[in-house]
Structure 1
């Protein structure tokens, strides 16, 4: 690449009227001739620059899609003598006959296709974290608001965009406060005056890019820096090869009074791979720098340089003292310092004006760029920050979920609401009543029939239609749902706890009515309870006792009316056997019926409990469990994002 010569002012300002100012021994015609020669030389330089610009435009048009092939060939032929075109750069030649006040390389539209550069490749650990973060965002969109997930989404977008760009380049921004000398350091690293310096504040109004190698155009375009603000340093041999792959960005002042300047800084700092913070002895402890930038970027310690500039203004050991205090402030900000071979921020002291320490920074920067690890480190730090900000909505330090005990208590509350225990007891009483009627004496059954005429049919439950009973049942259901929701959401982050409670409330709608229907269908079945196999024998024995009573009574009646011969012993014995045997058989049947009646009642209670538990599980517990399962999934993904187990 050839260097460029720009002259803001001509070397000679001779005008036709200058002849009158000639010194002794000078003629007017000779001075006029000199003025004309100077004007011709100036016009010649302007013509050559215009010709160079026209050739660059022709080459640019020839390389554009759809350009004419002959024009393209002609353009290439014209540029052969000037050497290969650089990435995004048109270099104007140095006028060997004139001395330039300052020289710099200007980046413009590229004339020929740049050699393809390899895209950035993340390692497996970072890819796994990014994929986990993508899954985390996807699983959380319906549970968390968009503002909470906004930063994570931006990190994913920027990681994807950076991965498609060059992995052979490292984009480093130079940031600093007003008057810190960052533009002077920018020029010192480039070896040529690129960024304007001066006493006017702010001096740098827009970001300027300087690339040490080809293939960085897409990276610079991503930063929104126009071609007119893109530069290339002058080729200096070892210095150029040392920083090959570096794209250096000079930013406006972060504390500029112009809002647009600060917006440029904030936007570009979110996109670059690394940052060089330039501080001066006066503002190195500025609260704005530490609170707004350094402290929030503590996770980016491995991709940051902090440079104390203008040490030439500090006498004696003052530079070391200020540097130590700067390290102390950085440590208070939570920024790890790269000391004793440990990864962290590099802290240096230098003077961009005198060049003292600039070589050390260039060497450290060259090694940093040669590693080609800054883009991945930057993205990894962005993921760390996003994960840290998501900690309150994902992480919990206590065990969460529904225990088996909580599930059983919920089922018991629903069973109480539908009266499962009372239904079982009623079923047991119905079974015993049916057994007594089947196996009791006729006289006792007659008496009980008279007493039970006004009671409901045997084996049927009273209808639950009373208003107070319905209100009590509804309150029990609501209490059960509220209790299980509170237990399930205990310890969860606020958004997920709210989601669990909402799922429980949605499931509880219509639950009391559904439980009432179940209590009718799954309660004690209508009709008589089933009879065991020994009932016919008991009924036959009871019938035999009744027959004996009738036989003994008829026998005695026959003796009284004289139909039969008098014999009191046998008929009295038959009657006594029948009268005593009947209650004994009934009592025996009652004892034998207790076990089956109990089992029958427990079976009825179990069926109602299972029905109520199934209804509560389908309507409340399953939705709650689904929310808890989703939380466990996102918690697992969050663990991968933060790098648990790395």
Structure 2
């Protein structure tokens, strides 16, 4: 079953989007050409769609003007014999009315109208023939006029002659670039009356082989003689058929869109083909995360979190008699400069030059791996995207460490601290009690009755019990703080690694993936614009 062609509007829209996506990635000349096609399509669709503009192009002496006069049935344009005569394109118009704006847009001021007495208005109504200057003229203005109109007309009639039909200039400069325009190209071998009968078929066969080499397979190739009229009926019938369909303008724009889209794509694979734009390699991301962890001093911070937890636990739950000695030691996190400032930053020392170099190498390797298989210049854009926000890494890591290294005191520290003060108070009460008894005994005063707990007096029980239980609680809290420090270190390590992975994703991986998504979208739009 034959595939349904995509609407012209979809193809032009896809070409415009492909040009936007290619901005800054593809040669600006190619992007500009694609946008010119989009602009030309919008202008052409806004003009007369009842007319088909067919340009008659050829070399000096090929008989273009004679062919135009023969088709018009009147001597409307001047014919040159030995030198270029046509300096400015001339238009021969078969009604209906309304061709003026279209010819103004084409900038063709010289116009001839063919009346009904000369041609069959019903069959050729809407045809506009343009007699172009010679493409091999020694006058630069003539060649520029040909190039300008060949790029915008609806239908192209290339007139060749038996002597120069194989000229490389016309094939390489004009016919070969029209490989995707076979639906709007007609090739005419004029002046066949100058050839002996058998030579005509051989020349036509050779010309068809040359055109096939140019990519113009199945293009209509007609042998005619404007002077004798041989083959003119077939050419006239072919023109009438193309004019009647009123689709040459759309076919031309579709071919232009396809050519511009494929030029934008260059050597990139089609959107449906396997390519290196599959995504960012996870292994390279892991290497980047490890490099960033070292640059952010994550192992040092994790160790400091464990030590700080134990230090703060001893300060909050230690035996009050010796607790003040712990306060003389610096907090491990503060010793590393991990103190929060109002701006949410730390005073952690910056990464060393070795660590910075390792991060830079990991970023570059990640970009290179993601660009592997992606054609230039998109591969360069992918590698540049990997480094586009590299300057933000140090600041983002610093802020992340400042948040992730924060620790909160467990609730049981407050209870254990209160218990320690209670035991210290009991110990102090027992000591004061015993001191009072000692003073009374030293003054030889009668001592008051002292309650006992079994064999031991209560002052002694309070003093010794408070001291022993305080030390025991401190030891138990120390043991709990070691386990708690290990848990806090693991939690901080997970939080820091998650933070590093988030930063790597936001500042390195996401720009790469955005560029790869842009590349895939570009290929999709090119495929739509170039679809046949």
Alignment TM-score > 0.5, same fold: yes
- Which residue is equivalent to 1:222? 105
- Which residue is equivalent to 1:596? 484
Secondary structure at the counterpart of residue 389 of structure 2: helix
Secondary structure at the counterpart of residue 188 of structure 2: strand
Residue 420 of structure 1: how far off its partner (Å): 1.6
Residue 506 of structure 1: how far off its partner (Å): 4.3
Distance 1:421 1:393, change over 3 A: farther
Residue 504 of structure 1: how far off its partner (Å): 4.4
Contact 1:309 1:351 in 2 (8 A): yes
Distance 1:130 1:596, change over 3 A: same
Residue 167 of structure 1: how far off its partner (Å): 1.2
Which of 510, 515, 530 pairs up with 2:410?
530
Secondary structure at the counterpart of residue 297 of structure 1: helix
Higher relative contact order (CA 8 A, sep 6+): 2
Contact 1:275 1:303 in 2 (8 A): yes
- Which residue is equivalent to 1:282? 163
- Which residue is equivalent to 1:368? 242
Which of 483, 486, 493 pairs up with 1:605?
493
Q: Does 1:333 align with 2:214?
A: yes
Distance 1:430 1:223, change over 3 A: closer
Contact 1:278 1:307 in 2 (8 A): yes
Secondary structure at the counterpart of residue 197 of structure 2: coil
Alignment of 1:84-163 (within 5 A): 125-141=7-23, 146-163=28-45
Distance 1:466 1:429, change over 3 A: closer
- Which residue is equivalent to 1:291? 172
Q: Does 1:194 align with 2:76?
A: yes
Q: Distance in 1 between matches of 2:101 and 2:350?
A: 76
Alignment of 1:44-55 (within 5 A): none
Secondary structure at the counterpart of residue 194 of structure 1: coil
Which of 318, 343, 353 pairs up with 2:199?
318
Q: Distance in 1 between matches of 2:236 and 2:129?
A: 12
Distance 1:533 1:429, change over 3 A: closer
Residue 156 of structure 1: how far off its partner (Å): 1.4
Q: Distance in 2 between matches of 1:429 and 1:222?
A: 81
Contact 1:176 1:253 in 2 (8 A): yes
Distance 1:269 1:468, change over 3 A: closer
Residue 324 of structure 1: how far off its partner (Å): 0.7
Alignment of 1:563-582 (within 5 A): none
Distance 1:130 1:217, change over 3 A: same
Contact 1:143 1:495 in 2 (8 A): yes
Alignment of 1:393-408 (within 5 A): 397-403=275-281, 406-408=284-286
Task: Tell me the alpha carbon deviations over residues 83-141 of structure 1, each in whole angstroms, 9 at most, x when there is no partner.
Answer: xxxxxxxxxxxxxxxxxxxxxxxxxxxxxxxxxxxxxxxx9710111122223334444
Contact 2:47 2:101 in 1 (8 A): yes
Contact 2:72 2:118 in 1 (8 A): no
Distance 1:466 1:414, change over 3 A: closer
Contact 2:296 2:351 in 1 (8 A): no
Residue 384 of structure 1: how far off its partner (Å): 0.7
Q: Does 1:479 align with 2:361?
A: yes
Contact 1:192 1:234 in 2 (8 A): no
Residue 290 of structure 1: how far off its partner (Å): 0.4
Q: Distance in 2 between matches of 1:438 and 1:249?
A: 98
Task: Tell me the alpha carbon deviations over residues 423-471 of structure 1, each in whole angstroms, 9 at most, x when there is no partner.
Answer: 223323444566678899999x89xx79x97x63356452387979543
- Which residue is equivalent to 2:289? 411
Which of 392, 397, 405 pairs up with 1:515?
397
What TM-score does the superposition give when structure 1 sets the normalisation length?
0.64
What TM-score does the superposition give when structure 2 sets the normalisation length?
0.77
Q: Distance in 1 between matches of 2:403 and 2:348?
A: 19
- Which residue is equivalent to 1:637? 525
Secondary structure at the counterpart of residue 168 of structure 1: coil
Which of 291, 298, 304 pairs up with 1:426?
304
Distance 1:466 1:242, change over 3 A: closer
Task: Tell me the alpha carbon deviations over residues 187-222 of structure 1, each in whole angstroms, 9 at most, x when there is no partner.
Answer: 221112222224231233332211122322222233
Task: Tell me the alpha carbon deviations over residues 43-77 of structure 1, each in whole angstroms, 9 at most, x when there is no partner.
Answer: xxxxxxxxxxxxxxxxxxxxxxxxxxxxxxxxxxx
Task: Tell me the alpha carbon deviations over residues 532-551 of structure 1, each in whole angstroms, 9 at most, x when there is no partner.
Answer: 589949x88xx89xx9xx9x
Residue 347 of structure 1: how far off its partner (Å): 0.9
Residue 172 of structure 1: how far off its partner (Å): 0.8
Query: Greater Rg, structure 1 or structure 2?
Result: 1
* Structure 1 unpaired stretches of 5+: 1-122, 338-344, 555-569, 575-579
Secondary structure at the counterpart of residue 166 of structure 1: coil
Q: Distance in 1 between matches of 2:208 and 2:20?
A: 41
Secondary structure at the counterpart of residue 385 of structure 1: helix
Distance 1:439 1:131, change over 3 A: closer
- Count matched residues: 486
Q: Distance in 1 between matches of 2:74 and 2:501?
A: 81
Residue 590 of structure 1: how far off its partner (Å): 6.9
Q: Distance in 2 between matches of 1:209 and 1:320?
A: 32
- Which residue is equivalent to 1:176? 58
Contact 2:404 2:495 in 1 (8 A): yes
Q: Distance in 2 between matches of 1:393 and 1:598?
A: 56
The root-mean-square deviation of aligned C-alpha atoms, in Å, is: 4.2
Task: Tell me the alpha carbon deviations over residues 306-335 of structure 1, each in whole angstroms, 9 at most, x when there is no partner.
Answer: 111222222232111111111111110011
Which range is displaced more, 399-408 or 144-153?
399-408
Distance 1:171 1:498, change over 3 A: same
Q: Distance in 2 between matches of 1:356 and 1:431?
A: 103
Which range is displaced more, 352-361 or 612-621?
612-621
Residue 483 of structure 1: how far off its partner (Å): 3.6
Q: Distance in 2 between matches of 1:515 and 1:172?
A: 66
Q: Distance in 1 between matches of 2:390 and 2:164?
A: 62
